Chains A and B, each alone.
Chain A
């Protein structure tokens, strides 16, 4: 079945450092891909998405490119802030359901 694998955390960075969180997937067909963010004690918010190969999703300085050849959707940000500390989930849309990765905790130190 469909699955998503994310890099394990926690990832700890200093403010203004470059961020990469790796995400790879296994799926039949051509899924849409998503990154969600979860702040402590809250629900998930959509961060960005891409619906077809080579699409780049972007929002709030975060970017991810849908790479079909490597089945990847890595999340990047050029300069992280303390306020970016959260849990990040990669997900794919399999028909009418979402399949989530285990989540990656990001901690940004000032």
Chain B
């Protein structure tokens, strides 16, 4: 089955530690996205990538880093510089080149809790 996988589903880390969230897709999509979701605030864009080896900051990139070495993979690192990292993180992908009418497809999410 084609889709987006995120692992792990739940992640616990101590304050001050970096942590990397995995996102893999087998949809052959060019563009990939990372969002953060907090209660009552909807989704906020962290980073996105339209092609391999290229990515752009979203609205709340501070304290996060990404890489895009393969088309299928777009890992997100939450660094110790992120002041309030506890949240639900969602990865999404979209086929590129078809303009704004194409929807994004979402993974199941990773809930990160920093203790």
Interface residues of A (CB under 8 A from B): 31-32, 34, 36, 41-46, 49, 51, 89, 93-98, 100-103
**Interfacial chain A residues near B48, Cβ < 8 Å:** 96-97
A25 to nearest B CB, angstroms? 13
**Among B11-19, B75-83, B102-110, the stretch in contact with A:** B102-110
Residues in B89-115 with C-beta less than 8 Å from chain A: 90, 92, 94, 96, 100-109, 111
Q: Give Cα A18 to B80, complex, Å.
A: 47
* 0/1 string, B34-45, CB within 8 A of A gives 1: 000000111101
Number of A-B residue pairs at CB separation under 8 A: 56
Counting contact residues on chain B (CB < 8 A from A), the size range is 20 to 34
> Could you tell me if B31 and A96 are in contact, using CB atoms closer than 8 angstroms?
yes
Residue of A32, A44, A93 near B106 (CB, 8 A) is: A44
Dominant secondary structure of chain A at its interface with chain B: strand
A78 to nearest B CB, angstroms? 24
Q: Give Cα A100 to B45, complex, Å.
A: 10
Knowing A31-B100, A32-B101, say if A43 contacts B40 (CB, 8 Å): no
